Structure 1
């Protein structure tokens, strides 16, 4: 053997599990690339898709039973709750209404002390 002579490495057979490992690395790399493309496509789709316009709330009618000749003193609104002060023939009453559900929640009759 001379100094310029190198051993021939092309004749050695590959190890048995090396070919399988090489293919699994290629497949996993391809799956990562595909998943990245799908992720970026999903982000772009959500960014360009417009949000559907919301329907305006339907108007509802709430009937509050009051005696004839009654007057409304004041109306106060706090979120979805409305309080109506009703005066009828000397007695005062506060009617509490849930405006979202359209129902009368409670009635509070006010009377002077001592009666």
Structure 2
């Protein structure tokens, strides 16, 4: 049996994250903790509905097997831009469009990490 390794999320602690969950749910907040099973703790969590509405849900524990993709943002401008485009259904073509738009606005120093599971 292969040995499992804990997720390497320590360097992303206290960073703003956007998490797409199965069931087409999307939440964002600050990463505060994780365990070897990829269960994570998110503080100041906000659920983003497809209607464009947002609802604050406080501190939550998200089970690792429900995470589809987690995006860590290092640039608050990009995070706000991402949410304003309704990124809960984001695919790579949409992300390419976002990067192109930001480059035209002179935002070339963006750092973003996508963690797919």
State the TM bucket, normalised to the shorter chain: under 0.3
Work out which of the two has the higher radius of gyration on C-alpha atoms and give 1 or 2.
1
TM-score, structure 2 normalization: 0.22
Q: Which has the higher strand share?
A: 2
The structure showing larger relative contact order (alpha-carbon pairs under 8 Å, at least 6 residues apart) is: 2
